[in-house]
A and B are shown apart, each in its own frame.
Chain A
């Protein structure tokens, strides 16, 4: 690991100053992704600014029914929060479907948002990877790409976004609050992550010196009936091949509210706007669910290794919507 300086500021102003003064600095949350990447030599910061001492570790009620989640709240605490479990069950389920209990105890909300892809070539300094070394090529294109993305990919990078939590946040129209020496701003979750295009090394709208301070969830009464369903190679402790975050409200057989976001198969947490458009106002029927799924997946760009994801995603979307519609098996 490359030598680095370690600082632990006690307030937000100190933290953002520390990073803006030092171009090679990075924020450190729970460390479950950054420490690993530093050890592999993929990340090489000169200074590590530990933000876990900042007073941003509470979940607070917002006027009007939303929630404000501090960026340092641990993944395990957020998943266990009674308000989240009751009002946004898909978010609690998504977090609990990710990593392991001990990792969720360490991981922060801010770090989860900024976690980097698990593409094995990205982790391997001997492999060609445009994300790690821009212009270096992409070994995944013609290599082992079973875990890679089929939506939002480019000829430069087909890495899948790894987060479960982010898929639920995209479905829930969360807003990310960020702060830097230039002040604070708010970024909608659906516009927070970027598609790779020709610059896969730039993954979000966040400037390198901006700190995520909070995530706000707007009120969403229909989300009390929501579900996160994750398909993976084993029952627990594996990244998603395909995952679905969905909420559905049905009145007299017609869909009156629908939210759908997909994980494991896209370059960023994928809000399924096209599918939602088809669902909304239509009948709550198997045919309509299938039509919505197909429309969303029509633009899939597959390789031999990951073509199966399209069929898997279609089946998982339909099954999740069916489950929400019939009320069977909802947790």
Chain B
């Protein structure tokens, strides 16, 4: 089947998509957007997260056909040109990235959190990120990064 949807503001189509493919597969393997990562393919780890119609979801569990006609925003679509988004910048500054596999998903989820909640408490940050697993950092630096990004965002 053919699937057409908007990715990071541009309309994209993929042909010969098999019904069993996930949105994640279409993004990575057909549209050349490897930002969202494929780790568990079970909804457990959050490394595949993208915005679908403005709502963060696990792209590995979205059937390709379900994306038809919708708006997708991936981690590649958060920066403005060369200027990184505040969350991306904070992750880099705080040392919240080690192997980097979990990073795109965490960035999307943190981006959504600080867009919705102006000054998230630590408990709110932890709960919001509970579905994003990181096997390297121990999470402390990630919490630092989200706090920093939230602070900067509130100050602007």
Chain A interface residues (CB < 8 Å from chain B): 1-6, 8, 28, 30-32, 35-36, 38-39, 48, 50, 52, 74, 76, 99-103, 105-106, 235-237
Contact A36-B63, Cβ < 8 Å, known A4-B20, A8-B68, A236-B126: no
B58-73 vs A, CB cutoff 8 Å, 1 = contact: the mask equals 1001110110100000
Q: Nearest CB to that of A7 among chain B residues?
A: B65
Are A6 and B63 closer than 8 Å at their CB atoms? yes
* Other-chain contact of B62, A31, A74, A237 (Cβ < 8 Å): A31
Are A32 and B128 closer than 8 Å at their CB atoms? no
Are B109 and A35 closer than 8 Å at their CB atoms? no
Are A8 and B61 closer than 8 Å at their CB atoms? no
Query: B55 in the interface, Cβ–Cβ < 8 Å?
Result: yes
Sample of 10 further A-B pairs with CB below 8 A, known A102-B46, A105-B57:
A3-B18, A6-B19, A28-B63, A32-B58, A35-B22, A48-B19, A50-B63, A101-B109, A103-B58, A236-B127
Q: Nearest CB to that of B17 among chain A residues?
A: A6
**What is the size category of the interface that chain B forms with chain A?**
20 to 34
* Other-chain contact of B42, A2, A36, A235 (Cβ < 8 Å): A36
Closest 5 CB pairs of A and B: A100-B131, A236-B130, A1-B20, A237-B130, A6-B19
Query: B155 in the interface, Cβ–Cβ < 8 Å?
Result: no
Query: B76 in the interface, Cβ–Cβ < 8 Å?
Result: no
The CA of A28 and the CA of B19, in the complex, are separated in Å by 13
Q: Which of A30, A35, A99, A101 has the most CB of B within 10 A?
A: A101
Are B63 and A100 closer than 8 Å at their CB atoms? no
| Chain B residues, CB < 8 A from A103 | 43, 58, 61, 131
Within 8 A of A (CB), among B26-53: 41-43, 46, 49
The CA of A74 and the CA of B46, in the complex, are separated in Å by 18
Contact A32-B43, Cβ < 8 Å, known A5-B19, A106-B62: yes
| Chain B residues, CB < 8 A from A235 | 126
| Chain B residues, CB < 8 A from A30 | 61
